[in-house]
């Protein structure tokens, strides 16, 4: 029992270390890509807006590290997993809402702003048939924007403001039709673009963080779907321990845990949520992620029971080494 108590408390340390690394990486990447929020508001504002999603990501990383640590240690797994579950529940139910509220995380809008590069001011920027000149930019809003659309008549138009959707590269001028800017509109973004796999992971992570931020503090919004979803998030993450001892090869187990943590976000994939919205009654739609997580967690728990006892598995791993 003492060994179990000694393993799980590593979670806060792993989470803090991961948080520092992620914030440093996000800052370096944003400097390279010329992120608008970094240029407009400075480092302090950037760290404040990045802190919440980075905390969510670091929590996932820390969970994976501790699960592997529990599998490899001589500690009794059940007490260690229960302690980890309590720490994770505290993080998800209390720390996440507090940090989200304190930093003013604004959900999808904040997620888009973090990925938004800075538009060159007083410079003609052209992509395809569209060129724009911007006098200033505040987040997703461009001020005093001149648009030149070579495919339209008249070609020139001026707008007091224009709103940018960086996910789809669409500019919506005030009083004008939406304009598709094309993927090459921001050269700084192209030069510092993340690989597709990492980029999709970041998008899914930001979507998950935005969903939780909309829930707010569970003790203030104590609806049954929200509380159930919060609890099942922690249960599913703890049940991923099954992958940490799935085989006798430790590297394979580590890879499985990493893939399982990545696959977790598929529960909140837009296509799945759209399918649930189309097929389920409105009263049951809010329970869709919970049902999926409960089914997966139950399956993993059954698999864990069917696997060889932990002591025998550890002995086999030692022999393999």
* Domain map (residue ranges) of the chain: 2-113+193-320, 119-185
- Among residues of the chain, what percentage have pLDDT more than 70? 64
pLDDT score for 157: 74
Q: How many CB atoms lie within 10 A of CB 91?
A: 21
Distance of alpha carbon 187 from alpha carbon 193, whole angstroms: 10
pLDDT at residue 244 tops 70: yes
Identify which of 252, 234, 233, 253 has the alpha carbon closest to the alpha carbon of residue 242: 253
The pLDDT > 90 percentage for the chain reads 11
Please report the pLDDT score of residue 62 as a whole number: 92
Q: In the prediction, which pLDDT does 191 show?
A: 39
Average pLDDT over residues 232-237: 92
pLDDT at 245: 87
Distance between CA atoms of residues 307 and 185, nearest Å = 53
Give pLDDT, residue 187. 45
Who wins on pLDDT, 121 or 228? Answer: 228
What does the pLDDT look like over 51-66, one tens digit per residue?
Answer: 888 899 999 999 999 9
The pLDDT tens digits for 75-93 are: 788 888 888 899 998 998 8
In this prediction the pTM is 0.70
The pLDDT tens digits of the residues spanning 8-20 come to 567 888 888 888 8
Nearest Cα residue to 141 out of 172, 185, 181: 172
* Cα–Cα distance list, 162 to 115, 134, 143, 165 (Å): 18, 9, 7, 10
| pLDDT at residue 218, rounded to an integer | 62
The predicted-structure confidence for 267-305, as pLDDT tens digits, reads as follows: 887 677 667 767 767 667 778 888 889 999 999 999 988
186 with 130: CB under 8 angstroms? no
What is the structure's pLDDT at 192?
43
Structure-model confidence comparison of residues 157 and 59, the more confident one: 59
Q: Residue 63: its pLDDT value, please?
A: 92
The rounded distance, in Å, linking the Cα atoms of 271 and 304 is: 30
Instruction: Please give the average per-residue pLDDT across 210-230, as a whole number.
Output: 73
What is the sign, positive or negative, of the torsion defined by CA atoms of 78, 261, 107, 192? positive
How far apart are alpha carbons 61 and 22 in whole angstroms?
A: 10
Quick one: pLDDT at residue 188?
41
52: left (phi over 0), alpha (psi -120 to 50) or beta: alpha
Q: pLDDT higher for 64 or 72?
A: 64
DSSP classification of residue 266: G
Q: Is the pLDDT of residue 195 over 60?
A: no
140 against 20, higher pLDDT: 20
pLDDT at 207: 77
Edge-first strand listing for the sheet containing 170-173: 125-127, 130-138, 141-149, 156-165, 170-173, 179-180
In angstroms, rounded to a whole number, what is the distance separating the alpha carbons of residues 299 and 63? 19
Q: Which of 121-125, 174-178, 239-243 has the highest mean pLDDT?
A: 239-243
For the residues 202-219, what does the mean pLDDT come to? 74
- Residue scoring higher pLDDT (161 or 95): 95
* Least confidently predicted of 63-77, 208-222, 223-237: 208-222
């Amino acid at each position: 029992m003492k060994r179990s108590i000694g393993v799980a408390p590593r979670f806060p340390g792993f989470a803090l270390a991961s948080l520092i690394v992620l914030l440093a990486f996000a800052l370096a990447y944003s400097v390279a890509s010329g992120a608008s929020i970094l240029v407009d508001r400075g480092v302090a504002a950037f760290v404040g807006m990045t802190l919440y999603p980075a905390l969510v990501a670091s929590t996932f990383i820390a969970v994976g590290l501790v699960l592997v640590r529990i599998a490899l240690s001589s500690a009794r797994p059940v007490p260690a997993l229960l302690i980890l579950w309590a720490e994770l529940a505290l993080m998800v139910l209390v720390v996440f809402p507090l940090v989200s509220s304190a930093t003013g995380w604004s959900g999808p809008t904040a997620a888009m702003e973090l990925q938004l590069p800075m538009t060159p001011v007083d410079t003609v920027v052209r992509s395809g048939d569209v060129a724009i000149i911007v006098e200033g930019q505040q987040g997703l809003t461009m001020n005093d924007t001149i648009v030149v659309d070579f495919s339209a008549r008249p070609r020139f138009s001026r707008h007091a403001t224009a709103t940018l959707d960086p996910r789809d590269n669409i500019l919506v001028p005030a009083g004008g039709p939406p304009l598709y800017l094309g993927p090459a509109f921001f050269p700084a973004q192209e030069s510092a673009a993340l690989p597709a796999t990492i980029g999709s992971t970041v998008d899914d992570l930001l979507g998950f963080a935005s969903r939780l931020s909309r829930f707010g503090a569970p003790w203030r919004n104590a609806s049954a779907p929200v509380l159930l979803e919060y609890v099942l998030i922690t249960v599913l993450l703890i049940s991923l321990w099954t992958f940490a001892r799935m085989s006798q090869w430790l590297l394979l187990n580590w890879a499985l845990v990493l893939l399982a943590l990545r696959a977790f976000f598929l529960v909140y994939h837009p296509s799945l949520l759209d399918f649930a919205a189309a097929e389920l009654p409105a009263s049951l739609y809010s329970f869709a992620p919970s049902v999926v997580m409960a089914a997966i967690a139950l399956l993993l728990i059954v698999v864990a029971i069917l696997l060889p006892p932990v002591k025998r598995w550890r002995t086999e791993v030692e022999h393999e080494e």
